[in-house]
Structure 1
Amino acid sequence: MTLTRRTMLTGMLGAGLGLTACTPSGPTVHASGDEDADAVASTPAATPPAFPTVDRTIATGLAVPWSLAFLADGAALVSERATGRVLRVDGAGGVDEVGVVPGVAPQGEGGLLGLALSPDEAALYAYLSSESDNRLVRMPFDGGLGTPEVLVEGIALARNHQGGRLRFGPDGMLYVTVGDAADGSRSQDPSDLAGKILRVDADGQAAEGNPFGTRVWSLGHRNPQGLAWDGDRMWAAEFGQDTADELNRIEPGGNYGWPAVEGAGGDPAYVDPIVTWPTSECSPSGLEIDRGVAYLCALRGQGLWIIPLAGDGAGTPQKAFDRELGRLRCVALAPDGSLWVTTSNRDANGTPGTDDDRILRVVI
């Protein structure tokens, strides 16, 4: 299908401190399929809730907290990219180390990245960079970490473009974002796991119903690091190179165009993004969706983008905490309905304060 480009709507100004509306140099909302983009943006279903505020700081002094996986009791397991540690952080600010994942070899953007808990909380899945590859491992979890079992290995490794987000979908399958390892040709090679979103079962095998009969769910990605669902609609956030960062609606078997296309190319061979940003305004990592609104962490853009969703399309994005908190890496919906957001100011690209990195409790 051919997707058309339009300029973003203006005038949805935030009513409070920390929220800014789009500017002409900001994000662009693209039409979705046969829907008219202006109609999508103006529908009541696309109206965002009240702007978010920081309720309190939960934890400080962390070393690049990359991922959050919530336990039923409201605490979260947190990965530290460079140290390989998994921490248990509770809502009162208690921080305890539950284990160090063996085999983590940090280099560049690699290290201990995504975490996902099995639905019964008996196993913790982790995406990590070893000395030779990126890999998916599973560890028994009983309050501490057991010995890792390698489920998927041989994923291409480079100093950047690792991907690394893990999330269980509403279908019970585990989804894995994988970067192109700084080699765009891998993204279009269906036999290569790099530059893809994977869908696997609990043992890391290709899930039943995958479009190619392999682990691959979608292809043509550069460096996707955000995954979330709005009902049964799957969304992913992806780093661009020079021009456009992306929020994509993920279709099974969809080809998202990299390296032939960055942003919206209008080529019917590829699926165009729903929203794009100039790379200076975003660098998207973590993604969460709550009540039809997507929350997207911006690293280089240093803020939290709020995108109202309407079906397969989106309304006008707005930006919260613009340059106030520094680089934001992960956002996750806590059991109590709040959002937990992690900073990433100690990742060699930020300017850390004395209490960085932090986990913040954000309320709507």
Structure 2
Amino acid sequence: MHAKTTRRRPTSHPRTAAALAAASLSTVLLLVSCTPEPTSVSLPAPESFAEGLDAPWSIAFHDDVALVSERDSARVLEIAESGETREVAVIDGVAPGGEGGLLGLAVHDGELFTYFTAQNGNRVERREIRGEAGDLSLGEPTTVIDRIPSAGNHNGGRIAFGPDGMLYVTTGDAGDRDSAQDLDALAGKILRLTPEGDVPADNPFEGSPVYSFGHRNPQGIAWDADGAMYASEFGQDTWDELNVIDAGGNYGWPEVEGIAGDPDYIDPVQQWSPDDASPSGIAVTGSDIVIANLRGERLRTVPLDDLTASTEQYVGEFGRLRDVVIGAGGTFWFLTNNTDGRGNPSDGDDRIIRLGLD
């Protein structure tokens, strides 16, 4: 195992433009859930913005252009202002199966980063984004990290750039429970890398990409305006989790699931029954964490000033929800996931639902 160094708390970062733009939208979301018949606030109706997607998994923005991954087709789609879709590329080497396939997307400095399941494990690649809106294409791939253990389930797959400019990658335990506690294994972790795939010198374990460990299947990561990092995680049969992520932190799997009160592990700040949750993508507004839930078929809002509280929106209205992001101008997008083999698709599924401000 790598020798453990001192854990580092997240450092403070300036309030991001996305968080500022979304602060008032967070208020709207709370009003949706708490005020059945508002009289002083005009609430916009959710808009079915793009339809006919095939097992979509992730949304990322290149400037103001939304890019969406499809898990099984391995397609990256560009979403036009009209809601029409256009195929940008089919990612070579994707080997879909079970929960594996083309999963997370992230955009950084004009490049698209993709997390996907290949024949020899999960991997992250980066490609230059070329062209203009309506005519985007991708350059040749460069591997960022590969040979992350894969399986029919528990593949993790969310990738995002933190306020420190580093790439964070969630990995599942790929069915090997004990690997989550093994610092020499890439499974059951949140990894931290430079955009080129190098190990940052200030990572908590010398020479290792591991940032935190003891995870079963983390599915969402996001940061607040002060740089604190949050992650959603699928439990097994008892508790799904929302965690605050510390550098070098051990989150307990498979020794514990949910809140255990064991000083050897970091407890989640909230836990939910999988029937009500299966939390996937998350976004942070100016005042709240918003979580897309698959089996629970709802958006859950957790206020940053009370991480033990939550409200729910759209319960059962749109089916399974895979991802949630903040778009240009403070618009709020969430991605349904009813065509992945576990949902009950309705006409138009899968789709992007968009909520904006009047």
TM-score scaled to structure 2, two decimals?
0.85
- Rounded to whole Å, the distance in 1 between the matches of 2:174 and 2:139 is 29
Contact preservation (8 Å) 1:51, 1:320: no
What's the counterpart of residue 336 of structure 1? 329
Amino acid in the other structure paired with 1:61: G
Aligned partners of 2:323 and 2:33: how far apart in 1? 25
Residue 96 of structure 2, aligned match among 93, 106, 112: 106
CA distance 1:52–1:182, shift in 2 (3 Å): farther
Of 176, 187, 200, which aligns to 1:183? 176
Structure 1 residue 226 displacement after superposition: 0.3
Q: Deviations over 1:111-162 (max 9, x none)?
A: 00001111x22x1110000122101111121121122222211111110000
Instruction: For 1:108 and 1:301, locate their aligned partners in 2 and report how far apart those are by CA, in whole Å.
Output: 20
Aligned residue for 1:127? Answer: 115
Distance 1:283 1:53, change over 3 A: farther
Q: Give the corresponding residue for 1:84.
A: 74
Cross-structure match for 1:300: 295
Partners of 2:195 and 2:303 in 1: CA distance: 32
Query: Deviations 1:39-67 (Å, cap 9, x if unpaired)?
Result: xxxxxxxxxxx998643111100011111
Q: Distance in 1 between matches of 2:205 and 2:146?
A: 19
One-letter amino acid matched to 1:288: A
Distance, in Å, in 2 between the alignment partners of 1:221 and 1:341 is 25
Say which of 241, 249, 253 aligns to 1:246.
Answer: 241
1:222 aligns with 2:213: no
User: Which residue of the partner structure matches residue 155 of structure 2?
Assistant: 162
Aligned to 1:95: 85
Residue correspondence of structure 1 range 1-364 to structure 2 within 5 A: 14-16=34-36, 54-72=45-63, 74-118=64-108, 120-121=109-110, 123-142=111-130, 143-213=136-206, 214-231=208-225, 232-310=227-305, 313-363=306-356
| Contact 1:303–1:320 (CA under 8 A) maintained in structure 2 | yes
Q: Given residue 75 of structure 2, which amino acid in structure 1 is its aligned partner?
A: R
Moved segments of 4+, more than 2 Å: 50-55
C-alpha distance in 2 between matches for 1:228 and 1:303: 18
Task: Give CA deviations for 1:179-230 in whole Å, capped at 9, x if unaligned.
Answer: 0001110100001010000010011111231000210000000000101101
Alpha-carbon distance change, 54 to 243 in structure 1, aligned in 2, over 3 angstroms = farther
State the secondary structure of the residue aligned to 2:347.
coil
C-alpha change, 1:55 and 1:280, in structure 2 (3 Å) is closer
Gap regions ≥5 residues in structure 2: 1-31, 131-135
Give the AA of the match of 1:102. D
Cα RMSD between the aligned structures?
Answer: 1.7
- Paired with 1:197 and 1:78, the residues of 2 have a C-alpha distance of 22
Hey, what's the Cα distance between the residues in 1 that align with 2:78 and 2:106?
13
Structure 1: gaps spanning 5 or more residues:
1-11, 18-49
Residue 30 of structure 1: aligned partner = none
> Offset of 1:92 from its aligned partner?
2.2
Cα distance, 1:102 vs. partner?
A: 0.2
3-state SS, counterpart of residue 141 of structure 1:
strand
Distance 1:99 1:13, change over 3 A: closer
Q: Secondary structure at the match of 1:228?
A: strand
Q: Does the aligned pair in 1 maintain the 2:269–2:308 contact within 8 Å? A: no
Change in 2 beyond 3 A, CA 1:127/1:51 = farther
Q: Aligned AA for 1:291?
A: G
Deviation at 1:75, TM superposition (A): 1.8
Number of positions where the alignment pairs a residue of Structure 1 with one of Structure 2: 316
